[in-house]
């Protein structure tokens, strides 16, 4: 193995480690919400510093590879993709932290009726599965699996689209739902953005594997 190959292998391993941490953050944010576990929510907030540390380290490693090895072709695409995936993973970590902060701010658990009607938990499960599928598509170098993420993201978009009217109906019926509705609406918006970040990651995986730029072209 050449020195460049060793560096690229180490970079991929580091990215997967960050991926696992962000997955854990998103999963724990969901568990904290479901179980009204404010201790777990605080743990998510505290671990966000580790996510940020990974982002800085991976950025530095990519810069060093550019400077020392001047990669070309598929190696260059891989490093460019890692840079952008790294950024998107950090953003997902931010959104997971934001969800955890809402759990910390709650005085009581979310109402089961509101969670069921808005499909918030379904949305969380879907986002977590998308993040895992994106990781598998990179690990197995499977561009078809990466493409499947575009379809999966539509579910998040649909739930987000109808959530406002559902929450409005709850508040109109009983104003005591007002603060809860605000929190849930904000969480749903964060989950929709997480879907967008994972879609961006899928685009970068396809770029790395096929040398195709899909940004702004999914509709085509």
- What is the model's pLDDT at position 219? 43
CA angle 125, 126, 127 (to 5 degrees): 95
**Predicted model pTM:** 0.94
34 lies in a domain? yes
154 lies in a domain? yes
**pLDDT tens for residues 17-34?**
999 999 999 999 999 999
Burial tier of 156 (Cβ tally within 10 Å: 0-12, 13-18, 19+): buried
Please state, in angstroms and rounded to a whole number, the distance separating the CA atoms of residues 103 and 41: 7
216 lies in a domain? no
218 lies in a domain? no
- What is the model's pLDDT at position 25? 98
149 lies in a domain? yes
- What is the model's pLDDT at position 215? 67
> Could you tell me the residue range of the domain that residue 48 belongs to?
3-210
Please state, in angstroms and rounded to a whole number, the distance separating the CA atoms of residues 181 and 51: 29
220 lies in a domain? no
- What is the model's pLDDT at position 216? 55
129 lies in a domain? yes
CATH code at 189? 1.20.58.220
Within the chain, which residues score under 50 in pLDDT? 218-220
202 lies in a domain? yes
Please state, in angstroms and rounded to a whole number, the distance separating the CA atoms of residues 92 and 73: 29
The count of structural domains within the chain is: 1
- What is the model's pLDDT at position 217? 56
DSSP conformation letters of the chain? --HHHHHHHHHHHHHHHHHHHHHHHHHHHHHHHHHT-HHHHHHHHHHHHHHHHHHHHHHHHHHHHHHHH---HHHHHHHHHHHHHHHHHHHHHHHHHHHHHHHHH-SSPPPHHHHHHHTHHHHHHHHHHHHHHHHHHHHTT-HHHHHHHHHHHHHHHHHHHHHHHHHHHHHHH-GGGHHHHHHHHHHHHHHHHHHHHHHHHHHHHHHHHH----TT-TT-
**pLDDT tens for residues 127-157?**
999 999 999 999 999 999 999 999 999 999 9
Contacts of residue 192, Cβ cutoff 8 Å, sequence gap at least 6: 123, 156, 157, 159, 160
């Amino acid at each position: 193995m050449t020195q460049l190959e060793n560096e690229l292998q180490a970079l991929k391993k580091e990215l997967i480690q960050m991926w696992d941490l962000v997955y854990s953050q998103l999963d724990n944010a969901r568990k904290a919400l479901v179980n009204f576990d404010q201790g777990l929510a605080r743990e998510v907030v505290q671990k966000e510093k580790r996510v940020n540390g990974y982002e800085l380290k991976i950025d530095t490693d990519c810069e060093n590879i550019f400077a020392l090895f001047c990669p070309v072709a598929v190696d260059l695409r891989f490093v460019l993709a890692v840079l952008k995936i790294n950024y998107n993973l950090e953003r997902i970590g931010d959104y997971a932290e934001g969800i955890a902060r809402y759990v910390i701010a709650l005085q009581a658990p979310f109402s089961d009726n509101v969670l069921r009607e808005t499909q918030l938990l379904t949305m969380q499960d879907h986002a977590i599965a998308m993040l895992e599928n994106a990781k598998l598509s990179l690990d197995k170098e499977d561009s078809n699996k990466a493409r499947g993420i575009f379809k999966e993201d539509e579910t998040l978009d649909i739930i987000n689209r109808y959530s406002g009217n559902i929450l409005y109906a709850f508040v109109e019926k009983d104003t005591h739902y007002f603060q809860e509705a605000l929190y849930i609406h904000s969480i749903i918006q964060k989950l929709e953005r997480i879907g967008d970040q994972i879609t961006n990651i899928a685009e970068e995986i396809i770029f790395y594997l096929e040398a195709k730029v899909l940004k702004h072209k999914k509709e085509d």
